[in-house]
Structure 1
């Protein structure tokens, strides 16, 4: 599967993973854009914009609470675990578009959540934020300042957290190898990350069962899932 880069692995010291919904789908978390995705039965503009939240915060909170139940029950799969294991051999950073925390659950120590986290909440007005470990019982949870709390995720039309994005660009521009797993990278600005890696002459690997717009730009394309491909990928580093 990885024969083309086997000889180059011995020179790799910094690996950046860019992960998307496809890797979490294998843990039972539906994707947004797949044929069985979360957007299939919902209008995304009624659920994932700040305007929708102010128009109907109860609906948005109900939907996110349902998603949170699913995510709390989910466990890291072999793909997540392989990425965490790779830290034994090289420097690893995960830049994830996922909001489920499964990379951290698997043991990855350096994870940048580009689109926020569903297990964190923040105030819609003041600077309050915190992590939650169980279900929220209130229909509309309020901050101590009296304003509505919201999921600490990046909604359509919102900017990525600038501190996180600045770090992501730096890691991408310094890596020797970038592995893009389970994402078509159609969302900006995450879709620019391979450009930063390429400017550093990094190897680019795509792991995705489907063809994507970025496939022609890759050094190596693996048409398979993360759970199958990533354990084999890590085994290359064990033997280098």
Structure 2
């Protein structure tokens, strides 16, 4: 059985990582477009580098939670692919193997001119840190105004899903939210999120946060 899981900020929030967008449209007290858009980076690269340096440091203070570990356990019995909107590495640290990062990864850096020059990176990225092509390194994050290069891979996985599990996402951020449009008519869809979601009655909605919701999910797999 093929299980595809789409995860969003809600699953990481329970590990202590701030959600991408709070009620007033800010992220860590910054206007989102200042720190999460290509225009923001071109306007003030120092601010953006510092912002992601702080996000990267935070990763070393958090650990995976029960929801991350349950998804790893599913791999013992099923063919599981995780598609995540999150830029943290908590799925990897929980032991999951097949992970597609739609929006990039905090622990990677890339040339700001050649997106194929990508490096593992755990420290701050400073102005003057260069890729091998001589251009400035930047976070390997997909910002507003940029293409989502892993989207086609994600669609391919969703097309093959027998079960699609959505955890911790409001289904408001596109193109990730559009993945639900690609599931087959036979695919069972389960959404775990405490919020009201833009979904139809055919989709099972477990209206709980991630770690509580997976307790309900476990019952479905017994």
| CA–CA separation in structure 2 for the residues paired with 1:81 and 1:38 | 30
| CA–CA separation in structure 2 for the residues paired with 1:201 and 1:159 | 30
Mapping 1:1-240, distance limit 5 Å? 13-35=1-23, 39=27, 41-126=29-114, 127-132=116-121, 134-136=122-124, 138-161=126-149, 164-197=150-183, 199-214=184-199, 216-234=200-218, 236-237=220-221, 239=222
Cα deviation 1:38-65 (Å, max 9, x = unaligned): 5261111211112221221111111101
Contact persistence 2:5–2:81 (CA under 8 A): yes
Count of paired positions: 221
> Matched residue of 1:160: which SS?
coil
Q: Structure 1, unaligned stretches of length 5 or more?
A: 1-12
Counterpart for residue 10 of structure 1: none
Q: CA deviation at 1:234?
A: 3.2
TM-score when normalising by structure 2: 0.92
Contact persistence 2:49–2:126 (CA under 8 A): no
| CA–CA separation in structure 2 for the residues paired with 1:38 and 1:70 | 18
Root mean square deviation, CA, Å = 1.8
| CA–CA separation in structure 1 for the residues paired with 2:133 and 2:157 | 37
Cα deviation 1:146-205 (Å, max 9, x = unaligned): 3211101100011101xx2222111111111111110011122111111211x2421111
| CA–CA separation in structure 2 for the residues paired with 1:18 and 1:231 | 17
Closer, same or farther: CA 141–218 of 1 in aligned 2, 3 Å: farther
| CA–CA separation in structure 2 for the residues paired with 1:40 and 1:66 | 10
Q: CA deviation at 1:219?
A: 2.4
Q: CA deviation at 1:231?
A: 4.2
| CA–CA separation in structure 2 for the residues paired with 1:38 and 1:102 | 23
Closer, same or farther: CA 137–196 of 1 in aligned 2, 3 Å: closer
Please state which structure has a larger fraction of its residues in helix. Answer: 1
Cα deviation 1:198-220 (Å, max 9, x = unaligned): x2421111100111222x25421
